[in-house]
Amino acid sequence: MALLAPGLDPRSLLGPALFWLFLLPLPLTAGGGGQGPLPRVIYHAGDGRRGLSLFHQKGLQDFDTLLLSRDGGTLYVGAREAILALDIQDPGMPKLKNMIPWPATERKKSECTFKKKSNETQCFNFIRVLEALNATHLYACGTFAFSPACTFVELQDSYLMPISEDKVVEGKGQSPFDPAHKHTAVLADGMLYSGTMNNFLGSEPILIRTLGPQPVLKTDNFLRWLQPDASFVAAIPSTHFVYFFFEETASEFEFFEKLHTSRVARVCKNDVGGDKLLQKKWTTFLKAQLLCAQPGQLPFNVIRHAVLLPATASADARVYATFSSQWQVGGTRSSAVCAFSLKDFKRVFEGKYKELNKETSRWTTYGVPEISPRPGSCSVGPSSDKALTFMKDHFLMDEQVVGTPVLVKSGVEYTRLAVETVQGVDGHSHLVLYLGTTTGSLHKAVRSGDSTVRLVEEIQVFPEPEPVRNLLLAPAQGAVFAGSSGGIWRVPRANCSVYESCVDCVLARDPHCAWDPESRACRLLPTPIPKSWRQDMEHGNPQFACATGPMGRSRQPQSRPEIIKEVMAVPNSIVELPCPHLSALASYLWTHGRARAAVAEASAAVYNGSLVLLLQDGAGGLYQCWASENGFSYPVVSYWVRSQDQPLALDPELAGIPRERVEAPLTRVGGGAALAAQRSYWPHFLTVTVLLALLLCGALLLLLASPLGALRARGKVQGCGTPPPGEKAPLSRKQHLQPPTDRRTSASDVDADNNRLGPEVA
Ligand SMILES: *[C@@H]1O[C@H](CO)[C@@H](O)[C@H](O)[C@H]1NC(C)=O
Ligand SMILES: *[C@@H]1O[C@H](CO)[C@@H](O)[C@H](O)[C@H]1NC(C)=O
Ligand SMILES: *[C@@H]1O[C@H](CO)[C@@H](O)[C@H](O)[C@H]1NC(C)=O
Ligand SMILES: *[C@@H]1O[C@H](CO)[C@@H](O)[C@H](O)[C@H]1NC(C)=O
């Protein structure tokens, strides 16, 4: 992330540079932020290994708002002009319990169109608030064709009762006017705290408390507690406070361009507003800057979403938030997840203030006031006029709340997140983050202890790229629900069966999965946790976790294959031995014979991970594809290749290993079957030559198609031309097959389509 990287306008650098100089005495280093962690496994849309189910219904769209029932068995969904109750108790597709329409009235719709809003995309009732008020009622608000409205929805046995029009009330401040505007709302102690835009134009943000017995309180618009572009993303209640997370233009820094900043604001739940001063206004509103940045780098200054991970016996409560940046460095967007401790919020909100000097329009630091109780603290009893006067102008804290970067990843923008802790076999808690992206995929990120975050998997949930609008973790169902424009997707937290061996199960380091030695399967960890199950979250080392026998007697559980695939082939034919690449974090290597020698250079090439083998004299025997991951090597697949003409004696060392006869996987190059039928040597030999040349040139062309490959292959290519048909050139080993000494492919050699085009074909 060099500061003068191409794609970054030098003018736009001034802002951030000054910003940084202003904030921290850190040098502006040109350190590279890097790619961030790679997902170990990527599932494309529709991959059967990650079976997802979709609820959708004709005529319904924009499944934006999600609410889980108290018993966790029903999912309430706010869509466009309708509220749904879905039964999610059974795995598989959520079942519709019932649906109640809640359209904006025709009058509101025509007013909306009259005000030049679209009757096709905007003048509808988009549900924005859906909260459980009590055991019998939900509270719902929607944009109602640019005229926000709210209503109570009665529940009977978690079925939704129809909304009668006379129960619909005005919802200004609770729902935005414009479906494109951000909003947040949370119900705490029977009161609704919401943050959104309070006018048609979307220029007047508000943070308001409604419902319940306490007076309605608002932010003061005139005092500019919020910038006109404040955009709310989350609200989190605690015992005494409600925290709001939002983004707005920073007024405290003066720069050439609009500088975004992320904020946390705090109000007291027991605030009752002022008497003479600050009537019906918050008397406890305070806000502070949130900082999510890697040392010496541009901050991630745009908050996208925030969630609370409540305190546990061993850890304090934390807020996890996703951020993106206002600046695109090198043309790619990047994202960060930062963790904030509630203790830091408390400390900052109890520290110094910033004060605007009205003459110079500059913000200066103001110390702690000598007013007791301290203004803005949740003290009971009426506040003095002095304290209220102070609060009117001192709402911005001097210090910023600094977050700890948990995950930084470029090339991706996270829109929503859900978080949980999962207990592993070792009894430790592991942090799991589910992150939805702007392109409709989901990242499962895991952190054990203070180690770096790993991406266990990436799942493309939506078939078409569109942002994940909402994400809800339903722990009782073991699933994450994601809302899109077309429906609700259910994503099981894990599918442990995709890890077919103990080694893969342990290397995956998914805290939900462990190897059950009894059933010899990677399975979802039940409660109570069976102590005999194998997992190594901390190191991901299968050497010990998968060792068999008492105290891991066999220290190399991996070197002996579990099954050998027997391949019978015609001499001088070409066979292709596939090797499934289970992990993007592993590097792969083919060996021949038990001595684990690299495959003979002259008779083989690795193409797309598969070994393409010319079966000549002495080329039979054991072929193994080894994966190296996390410092551990194991055979992914083992083949015993033998030719029909020269039967090979079975290696005594391999006795006892189960064998499975597989069809000679002749290379997919056409004419394979005909080739096998050939008996005469010369035509056969010729065909092989031509086929090999074609294969190699095809591979080279593919290699050359990528600029990187072109660089690598430059200078090595000469000599490869399709031999003219009929040319009786003897098969020159050197010319046609010249694998380099290093046959490894690694994650870095994987192109965008996950085709492995390593340096092996040269
Ligand atoms: C889990 O993975 C296994 C093995 O790939 C597959 O057969 C199964 O259908 C998957 N199950 C789900 C629910 O995705
Ligand atoms: C929207 O309004 C236009 C004319 O103003 C009309 O032609 C069109 O049918 C309307 N669309 C819908 C979905 O009502
Ligand atoms: C729930 O709230 C609604 C709306 O305020 C009220 O009518 C109803 O009586 C409440 N129910 C219970 C069980 O408190
Ligand atoms: C590479 O191998 C994978 C499976 O191993 C296959 O799906 C893919 O089509 C292959 N790509 C090419 C270019 O042959």
* Cα–Cα distance, 640 to 634 (Å, whole number): 17
Separation of 521 CA from ligand 1 center, angstroms? Answer: 13
Rounded CA-CA distance 320/318 in Å is: 6
Number of the ligand closest to the Cα of 500: 1
Residue 43 CA, ligand 1 centroid: distance in Å: 12
Q: Is the CB of 608 under 6 A from ligand 4?
A: yes
Domains of the chain are 219-411 (2.130.10.10), 494-545 (3.30.1680.10), 557-678 (2.60.40.10)
How far does residue 578's CA lie from ligand 4's centre (Å)? 9
Cis, bond preceding 511 (omega within 30 deg of 0): no
C-alpha of residue 438 to centroid of ligand 3, in Å:
39
Counting from 1 in the atom list of ligand 4, the atom nearest the Cα of 754 is 1
Q: What pLDDT is attached to residue 757?
A: 34
Coil, helix or strand for 62? coil
Report whether pLDDT(432) > 50: yes
Residue 361 region by backbone torsions, left for phi larger than 0, else alpha for psi between -120 and 50, else beta: left
pLDDT for the residue numbered 641: 86
Integer Cα distance of 442 and 462 in angstroms: 9
Q: Which of 286, 316, 512, 509 is nearest to 404 (CA)?
A: 316
Q: What confidence category does residue 676 fall into, taking pLDDT thresholds of 50, 70 and 90?
A: very low
CA 263/CA 247 separation, integer angstroms: 6
Distance separating alpha carbons of residues 392 and 561, to the nearest angstrom: 73
Over residues 85-120, the pLDDT tens digits come to 999 999 889 999 999 999 999 999 999 999 999 999
Q: Whose CA is nearest to atom 14 of ligand 3?
A: 134
Tell me, in angstroms, the distance from the centre of ligand 2 to residue 118's CA: 9
pTM score of the predicted model: 0.82
For residue 212, what are the contacts with CB-CB under 8 A and spacing of at least 6? 189, 190, 191, 192
What pLDDT band is residue 694 in, cutting at 50, 70 and 90? Answer: low
Find out whether 459 and 441 touch, Cβ atoms under 8 Å.
yes
Indicate the range of 72-81, 121-130, 470-479, 707-716 predicted with least confidence: 707-716
Strand 127-132 to strand 137-142: parallel, antiparallel, or no bridges (unpaired)?
antiparallel
Average pLDDT over residues 187-194: 96
Q: Where are the alpha helices (DSSP H) in 130-170?
A: none
Atom of ligand 1 nearest to the CA of 50: 14
- Sign of torsion over alpha carbons 382, 385, 387, 389: positive
> Does the beta carbon of 120 sit less than 6 angstroms from any atom of ligand 2?
yes
Whether 703 shows a pLDDT value over 80: the answer reads: no
Closest atom of ligand 2 relative to the 120 alpha carbon = 13
Beta strand 564-569 with 632-643 is parallel
Which amino acid is present at 578?
Answer: P
Residue 689 has pLDDT above 60, yes or no: no
